[in-house]
Chains A and B, each alone.
Chain A
Amino acid sequence: MQNEKVIYDDGDHKCIVFSFDNEEVEESFLAVNQYLIIQKNSAILIDPGSQSTYDEVYDAVCRYIDIDNLKYIFYSHQDPDVAGSIGKWSVSCAAQQIVSKQWIRFMSHYGLMNFNRVIPLEDKGAKIHFGEDYLHFIPAHFLHSPGNFSLYDSRSKILFSGDIGTSITSYYGAKSQDVTFGEIRESLEGFHKRYMAGNRFCKVWVQKVKEHDVHTMAPQHGSLLSGEEYDNFLAWFKDLECGGDLMESIY
């Protein structure tokens, strides 16, 4: 299994995807993607994952940068496959940890109570400088977590969408493959219908991300979608009935 791949590189700015973890889902598996954005001497790690993959992700990050240059670690939401390793990362580097303010007090369950280096994200999101460019934290609440954000990197034009766009397939971020929306549509459907809270939230998120010039969507699980395939995903997601819209089928 190929574990890492550079998905953007213009000489000064680089984005890398790691796929170190699998979660078994019925007869298939769900690859977990971790991302690293580097600009010159600064880096941000996105959704570093659970305790069990900490060592591999740490080593992978060190292959690309000096750990002292890891400036930020962003956790899109509170799930263990996203933030389970926050306690270890707090010990191993001096990076600032960016997380929804809704989840901060729960982080002590993952072994973090020193909030000196925690940047709490307000519900409305934020925009921070990253080198010469910006990182936008776009609200994605209730998709699926109540305190959830997508991250848009204005330089690479990649939207790190967290659980939005998760497809339960044998495709994963670090696998070199052009995937079409049509190919993964079925494998998107089950997850999104059950995990996303309702169509109102999907619509608002689509409206929000359309404010940005996105070339590629990079979800936390499954494959990346670019260009027209990303547009097809948005068109589908905008009208998706899910969660509360399908309550009768759940209860």
Chain B
Amino acid sequence: MESKNNYKKLAKLAKDFTLLYIEDNSGLQKQASKIFKKFFPKVIVATNGQEGLEFFKKYYPDIIISDIKMPKMNGLDMARKIKEIDNDAQIIITSAFDEKEYLLESIDIGITKYLKKPIPLEELIEILLDVISQQNDKKNRRLFDAYTKDAFEYQDHMLIFIEKDEVLMVNKKCLEFFAQENSKTFKELFKTFSKLLLPHENFLYEKDTQSWLEIIKEQDGKLFNVKLKDTKNKNRHFVLKANKIPDKDNYYILSFDDISELGLLEEDNPNLTDEQKAQEEKIKMINLLHVLKRNKTKIKLYNSYKGLSISNTGIIEEVLSNQIKIKTTYLQQRAIHIDKKTTIESELFSKALECSLVNLNFETQSVVLNNFSFTPFLPSKQKYVRVMPESSSFVDIYFDAIRLSVKIHILDISIEGSKLSFNSLPAGLKENSELILKLRLGSKTSPLNMDVKAEVLKIEEHKDEFIVIVVFKLESESKKLLIDYIAKRQMALIREFKGLQNAE
């Protein structure tokens, strides 16, 4: 049963194979050829080594089966010459003699199999099956290599394969963009590639401190904006990423994704109406989100809990025209759930993206967001930890030695300053005004009382309130007390956020 299966299998597998059979014994030759023809569509027969070699050169067979002792040229001499032509040639030697010399010579030549006559048919079939499947694997491997090389060559992105800072391969798209004839000329160009990266705010280009290549290699997988000039001297905007080859030190593929069409380098068109501008901005935003999704790039999500910043990474899973689905951590989901919104930052955005919560699923860790709008305020730029003081905290403010009688509420406080809400703006209060703040922070039972000098940094007018941001001028002892208070408050807010324990 097994042998019948093998016959069928061989007939199927050998259908594209050509066999060269060399045997000087005409009886055996006829008998064996008859069997081979049942499996191989093309069987070429030769009667000696010399003829065998000629037929090999003429037909390039996939498998060669040969006797050893033959007139004119023996089987092993022929095999050696064939191997000189094609080292991959699959040669099976058959011999009536059990001579060690021949066997050793066969090993030396690199013969695929050495079989002793008479060879039972079942055994021969099994050996042929083995040889053919190995050949098929090799063919597939070659096909795969050619395909991946093709994929590299014809990728839509510009690709550069490097070892340390030397170019190993470069694809067609890249050669075309830089108007290079071949990879040799590109290798030369790459030595001064830093000069091609044009300066642009928040973009990657060569600065004095560190080479551009070092920067991207140190942060492999991260996206960088770069600006390059094309052959028509037009600025093009690319997203550059270095991918490290796993388990290989110093090998990277640099990919350049051309996103010029998003128009992010262009100045805003002054002739557009506000509505048109908003529409254009929304399209840019969606396109950028697509770029992030395509590159599987991590984004940063920011929320705050009573002034305390909560930030984790996320991945964009789906981008639709009016909403996106992201995956993030449980803690961030919890913060988004409380805030009903989140702010997204990415190295690709010069602004942050504010979005509203549509729904979230704690089990799948997914969050659906909509109502995108850009905000110039980048949460990552927040230098100091801020906290919202306890509700029992309050502040009295003295301006020109007079206590302000307006209602003031502390929104948050850091060691640098505070964000205050005024129900109305006292006369004369403006930016750079000098104030004295009498702060009472903490619980009613053991409050921290401090007198602090401060200066008004900014005043924002809102619908029902004025937001006044003040910067402290702290003495070192006051600074220590404030650090201590904020650190303790931070700890209390963490506990509160995690389990809403000790909540006020």
CB contacts under 8 Å to B, within A97-120, are: 108, 111-116
Task: Find chain A residues with CB under 8 A from B218 CB.
Answer: 126-128
Judge whether B379 and A116 touch: CB under 8 Å.
yes
Q: Is B487 an interface residue (CB 8 A)?
A: yes
Report the bound CA distance from A251 to B284 in whole Å: 64
CB contacts under 8 Å to A, within B302-352, are: 302, 308-312, 331
Q: Is B490 an interface residue (CB 8 A)?
A: yes
Q: Give B483's nearest chain A residue, CB to CB.
A: A92
Judge whether B308 and A92 touch: CB under 8 Å.
no
Report the bound CA distance from A88 to B479 in whole Å: 12
CB distance from B122 to the nearest CB of A (A): 51
Report the bound CA distance from A169 to B100 in whole Å: 72
CB distance from B236 to the nearest CB of A (A): 29
CB distance from A117 to the nearest CB of B (A): 8
Given contacts A55-B480, A92-B415, whether A111 and B494 have CB atoms under 8 Å apart is yes
Q: Give A111's nearest chain B residue, CB to CB.
A: B491
Judge whether B312 and A115 touch: CB under 8 Å.
yes
CB contacts under 8 Å to A, within B118-165, are: none
Instruction: Identify which of B210, B310, B484, B498 contacts A114 (C-beta below 8 A).
Output: B310
Judge whether A114 and B209 touch: CB under 8 Å.
no
CB distance from B486 to the nearest CB of A (A): 5
Judge whether B483 and A129 touch: CB under 8 Å.
no
Report the bound CA distance from A92 to B383 in whole Å: 10
Q: Is B445 an interface residue (CB 8 A)?
A: no
CB distance from A155 to the nearest CB of B (A): 15
Judge whether B486 and A116 touch: CB under 8 Å.
no
Task: Find chain B residues with CB under 8 A from A111 CB.
Answer: 487-488, 490-491, 494
Instruction: Identify which of A55, A114, A126, A129 contacts B385 (C-beta below 8 A).
Output: A114
Instruction: Identify which of B382, B476, B480, B494 contacts A116 (C-beta below 8 A).
Output: B382
Q: Give A62's nearest chain B residue, CB to CB.
A: B476
Instruction: Identify which of B310, B383, B483 contacts A88 (C-beta below 8 A).
Output: B483
Task: Find chain B residues with CB under 8 A from A92 CB.
Answer: 415, 479, 483, 487
CB distance from A158 to the nearest CB of B (A): 22
Q: Give A131's nearest chain B residue, CB to CB.
A: B209
Instruction: Identify which of A62, A114, A127, A128 contacts B309 (C-beta below 8 A).
Output: A114
Report the bound CA distance from A55 to B383 in whole Å: 21
What sequence of 0s and 1s flags, for each residue 83-98 of chain B, a beta carbon within 8 Å of any chain A beta carbon? 0000000000000000
CB contacts under 8 Å to A, within B204-250, are: 209-210, 218
Q: Is A214 an interface residue (CB 8 A)?
A: no
Given contacts A94-B383, A114-B385, A127-B218, whether A87 and B312 have CB atoms under 8 Å apart is no
Judge whether B309 and A90 touch: CB under 8 Å.
no
Report the bound CA distance from A129 to B218 in whole Å: 10
Given contacts A91-B415, A128-B218, A129-B210, whether A114 and B487 have CB atoms under 8 Å apart is no
What sequence of 0s and 1s flags, for each residue 373-384 of chain B, a beta carbon within 8 Å of any chain A beta carbon? 000000110111
Given contacts A91-B385, A108-B498, whether A115 and B311 have CB atoms under 8 Å apart is yes
Task: Find chain B residues with CB under 8 A from A55 CB.
Answer: 480
Provide the main secondary structure of the chain A interface: helix
Report the bound CA distance from A114 to B308 in whole Å: 7
Instruction: Identify which of B310, B383, B414 contacts A113 (C-beta below 8 A).
Output: B310
Provide the main secondary structure of the chain B interface: helix
Q: Give B488's nearest chain A residue, CB to CB.
A: A111
Task: Find chain B residues with CB under 8 A from A126 CB.
Answer: 218
Task: Find chain A residues with CB under 8 A from B331 CB.
Answer: 113
Report the bound CA distance from A128 to B219 in whole Å: 11
Q: Give B492's nearest chain A residue, CB to CB.
A: A111
Report the bound CA distance from A128 to B385 in whole Å: 25
CB distance from A97 to the nearest CB of B (A): 11
CB distance from B311 to the nearest CB of A (A): 5
Task: Find chain A residues with CB under 8 A from B308 CB.
Answer: 113-114
Q: Is B251 an interface residue (CB 8 A)?
A: no
Task: Find chain B residues with CB under 8 A from A88 CB.
Answer: 483-484, 487
Instruction: Identify which of A62, A91, A129 contacts B490 (C-beta below 8 A).
Output: A91
Judge whether B487 and A91 touch: CB under 8 Å.
yes
Judge whether B483 and A87 touch: CB under 8 Å.
no
Task: Find chain A residues with CB under 8 A from B494 CB.
Answer: 108, 111-113
Report the bound CA distance from A90 to B494 in whole Å: 14
CB distance from A72 to the nearest CB of B (A): 14
Q: Is B497 an interface residue (CB 8 A)?
A: yes
- 18 A–B contact pairs at CB < 8 A? A62-B476, A87-B491, A88-B484, A90-B487, A90-B490, A91-B385, A94-B383, A108-B494, A111-B494, A112-B494, A113-B310, A113-B490, A114-B309, A114-B310, A116-B302, A116-B311, A127-B218, A129-B210
Q: Identify the 9 closest CB pairs spanning chains A and B, nearest first.
A: A111-B491, A94-B383, A114-B309, A88-B487, A92-B483, A91-B486, A91-B385, A91-B487, A113-B494
Please list the residues of chain B having a beta carbon within 8 angstroms of any beta carbon in chain A: 209-210, 218, 302, 308-312, 331, 379-380, 382-385, 414-415, 476, 479-480, 483-484, 486-488, 490-491, 494, 497-498
Given contacts A87-B487, A88-B484, A114-B310, 16 further A-B contacts (CB under 8 A): A62-B476, A91-B384, A91-B487, A94-B383, A111-B487, A111-B488, A111-B490, A112-B494, A113-B494, A114-B308, A114-B309, A114-B490, A115-B311, A116-B302, A126-B218, A127-B218
Please list the residues of chain A having a beta carbon within 8 angstroms of any beta carbon in chain B: 55, 58, 62, 87-88, 90-92, 94, 108, 111-116, 126-129
